[in-house]
Chain A
C-alpha cells in the first residue's frame, strides 16, 4: 500500500453506482463484464450529468450572451478545470478536448506535418528526411498508424523499441534507437494488450538528452492509476473519456503550455481563430486553437462528472484506491489463471508494473489451441464478456507469433468472484471443445 494508506474501495458499494451491472444477458445470466480495456461502464452520476445538461442547460458554448449559453460555457470550461486537476496539469489551458485518444494523437502528428508551412516558432515540430520518430512495438494502432502516416508525409524514419519475451520494453538499445536524429518519442504508458506499465522516466530522460519531444499514450493508464503530468516529465499526454467511466466522443490532449502555444493547428474552423480575412487568419491561443467547431459539450460535462466521481471514491482516496483495488485483482487473477490447465499468459506473469488487462491463449486437453474467438463465444454464453482478437495491437501478436488472444480486463467495479467466474468459464470452454 502506498504511503499514507489510501482508504480501500468498497466494491459492492461502487457496483451500486453502475446501473448496467445489474442487468443479465442470455436468458438471465448475470453480466460479468471483463472488457474494460475496450470501454468502461458509466456510473449514474455521469448519465445524470449528461441528462441534466440536455434538459436544463443546452446551448452552444463561447458564442452567446444569453443565460443558457453562459451556463453551457461554464459547464464546458468547468469540465476542463476538473480534468486539469485530475492529471495535476499546472494550467487549465493545457487541456485540449478531442474526440478520443486517437484524435489527440493525430492532432500531434498533424502539428508536425503542418509545421512545414508555419513560421520560425514551429521549429520544434519540423520534421523531414534524416529525422527519426520513435515508438514501441507494443503500441495500440492509434499510436502507431498516425506516426507511420506522418513519416510517409515528411520522409522521416520510423523506429521502435522492441519487446522482451516477458512482454516488457527492451531498453537494451535505448541509446541507439533514441539518438540525435530523434525528434519525437511516443509510447504507451500501460499496454492495452499486455497489461505492462512502462517505465516513463528512463525513456523520457533519454529523449530529453537528445532534445526530442515526448508523447505518452495514457489511454489505459489515466483510467486506472493516479496520474500527475508534472511528475511524469513528458510533453504530451493523450487519454480517452470512455475508458475512465466517461462518455464516448470525448478525449483529451494535455500538452505543456509553451509547446501548445507554438504548435500548429490541425483542424481549422470556427472557435479556433483570432482574426479572419478572406486571405488569411490568425489563430486563437490554446486550447481553443485546437478545438475547431462546436465541441462535444455534453460529453465534456459527462467527463467532468466522471472525474468528480473517480476523485471522490473511497472517501476522497480516489485513483489511489482504484489502483490499489485493481492491483489486488490483478494479483488474484494471475494466480487463479495460472491454475487453468492449458492457459498461457501473453505479457508479464507477475503483478509488478502491470495493470489489469490480461491476455492469454488457451489449449484443450489434446494440446490443440482453442482459438480466442471460440473461447470468447463460449464465455459469452455464460454471461462473461471478454475481448478476443489482436486488440488493435497486431504487431504485438506478430512479435509473440500468435494470431489473436483472449483478454480479460478489470476496472474499479470488478470483483474477485467475477474472476472466479472467468476461471470456471474457461474450464467450461475446454470441456466444450474436447474431442
Chain B
C-alpha cells in the first residue's frame, strides 16, 4: 500500500512514544505555531547555551506526522551547535520540498529520513515542517536577542507569526 511510504514504522514509533515532549524550564524563548489549514498547533521552547542547543521541549496537538516530526527534530538538534542544527533544518526543508525526488542522507538526517515519503503528499508537508519552523523561529529569537530574558520570550497575546511553510507556493 502506498500509505506505508508515508507512515513508516519509524514515524509511527515516534508518534506512539514521542521524545522530549512536555514543556520544560529553563528556556530562552517560547513560540506558538499553528497550521491554520488543519488545526495542528505546537508550543515550543528552546534553551541555547554557548551557541549550542541545550534543550528543546514542546507541547503539541496534531497528527501522527507532526507529532513524530517534533520528536525526531528534538532528538536531532539537541546537543548540536546552532549552526549545525540550522544546516539540518535546511536539509530537512529541501527534502520535504522535493516531492519525493531527493534521496535523503541517513548519516545526516538520521530518523528524519523516514519523512521522505511524506514529501509526496503536498497536504502533509506542512505537518512535517511545523515543529521545525517553530524551532527555527524560537532559535532566531534567541540568537537575535529578540527573546526577553528569563524565559518570558513570547509576548502574550501576540498573534503567531505566519509559519514559513505557509508562505510557500502550494
Interface residues of chain A, those whose CB is within 8 Å of chain B, are 26, 371-374, 377-378, 381, 388-390, 394, 397, 403-404, 432-433, 435
The answer to whether residues A373 and B63 also contact, given A388-B38, A403-B39 and a CB cut-off of 8 A, is: yes
A26–B2 touching, CB < 8 Å: yes
The answer to whether residues A377 and B39 also contact, given A371-B62, A403-B61, A435-B16 and a CB cut-off of 8 A, is: no
B124–A377 touching, CB < 8 Å: yes
Binary CB contact string for chain B from 72 to 90 against chain A (1 if under 8 A, 0 otherwise): 0000000000000000000
A-B contact count (CB 8 A): 49
Given the complex, which residues of A lie within 8 Å of B2, measured CB to CB?
26, 381
B6–A377 touching, CB < 8 Å: yes
A397–B39 touching, CB < 8 Å: yes
The answer to whether residues A389 and B39 also contact, given A377-B124, A432-B3, A435-B16 and a CB cut-off of 8 A, is: yes
Among residues 1 to 42 in chain B, which have CB atoms less than 8 Å away from a CB atom of chain A? Answer: 1-3, 6-7, 12, 16, 37-41
Given the complex, which residues of A lie within 8 Å of B125, measured CB to CB?
none
B3–A377 touching, CB < 8 Å: yes
The chain A residue sitting closest to B65, CB to CB, is A373
The chain B residue sitting closest to A27, CB to CB, is B2
The answer to whether residues A378 and B3 also contact, given A373-B62, A373-B63, A373-B124 and a CB cut-off of 8 A, is: yes
Of the residues B1, B61, B64, contact of A374 by C-beta under 8 Å: B64
Question: By the criterion of a CB under 8 Å from any partner CB, how many residues of chain B are at the interface?
Answer: 22
Given the complex, which residues of A lie within 8 Å of B6, measured CB to CB?
377
Given the complex, which residues of A lie within 8 Å of B62, measured CB to CB?
371, 373, 403
The chain A residue sitting closest to B17, CB to CB, is A435
Docked Cα-Cα span, A324 to B49, in Å, equals: 66
Indicate the member of B3, B37, B124 with the most A CB atoms within 10 Å: B3
Cβ of B116 within 8 Å of any chain A Cβ, yes or no, is no
Cβ of B127 within 8 Å of any chain A Cβ, yes or no, is yes
- Shortest CB–CB separation between residue A169 and chain B, in angstroms? 23
Given the complex, which residues of A lie within 8 Å of B41, measured CB to CB?
403
Interface residues of chain B, those whose CB is within 8 Å of chain A, are 1-3, 6-7, 12, 16, 37-41, 61-67, 121, 124, 127
- Shortest CB–CB separation between residue A192 and chain B, in angstroms? 15
Docked Cα-Cα span, A373 to B124, in Å, equals: 9
Docked Cα-Cα span, A26 to B64, in Å, equals: 22
The chain B residue sitting closest to A397, CB to CB, is B39
A381–B1 touching, CB < 8 Å: yes
Given the complex, which residues of B lie within 8 Å of A390, measured CB to CB?
38-39
The answer to whether residues A389 and B3 also contact, given A374-B63, A403-B61, A403-B62 and a CB cut-off of 8 A, is: no
The answer to whether residues A432 and B7 also contact, given A373-B65, A374-B63 and a CB cut-off of 8 A, is: yes
The answer to whether residues A404 and B3 also contact, given A371-B64, A435-B16 and a CB cut-off of 8 A, is: no
Docked Cα-Cα span, A176 to B65, in Å, equals: 45
Given the complex, which residues of A lie within 8 Å of B127, measured CB to CB?
373
A404–B124 touching, CB < 8 Å: no
A389–B38 touching, CB < 8 Å: yes
Docked Cα-Cα span, A23 to B115, in Å, equals: 30
Docked Cα-Cα span, A390 to B37, in Å, equals: 8
The chain A residue sitting closest to B60, CB to CB, is A403
Docked Cα-Cα span, A378 to B6, in Å, equals: 11
Given the complex, which residues of A lie within 8 Å of B65, measured CB to CB?
373-374
The answer to whether residues A373 and B7 also contact, given A381-B1, A435-B16 and a CB cut-off of 8 A, is: no
Indicate the member of A373, A381, A390, A403 with the most B CB atoms within 10 Å: A373
B124–A394 touching, CB < 8 Å: no
Docked Cα-Cα span, A381 to B121, in Å, equals: 12
Of the residues B3, B16, B39, B121, contact of A394 by C-beta under 8 Å: B39
The answer to whether residues A377 and B61 also contact, given A390-B39, A403-B39, A404-B38 and a CB cut-off of 8 A, is: no
Docked Cα-Cα span, A73 to B112, in Å, equals: 59
Docked Cα-Cα span, A435 to B16, in Å, equals: 8
The chain B residue sitting closest to A369, CB to CB, is B61
Given the complex, which residues of A lie within 8 Å of B63, measured CB to CB?
371-374
B3–A381 touching, CB < 8 Å: yes
Known: A432-B3, A435-B16. 20 other contacts (CB 8 A): A26-B2, A371-B62, A371-B63, A372-B38, A372-B63, A373-B38, A373-B63, A373-B124, A373-B127, A374-B64, A374-B65, A377-B3, A377-B6, A377-B124, A381-B1, A381-B2, A388-B38, A389-B39, A403-B39, A403-B40
Docked Cα-Cα span, A389 to B121, in Å, equals: 16
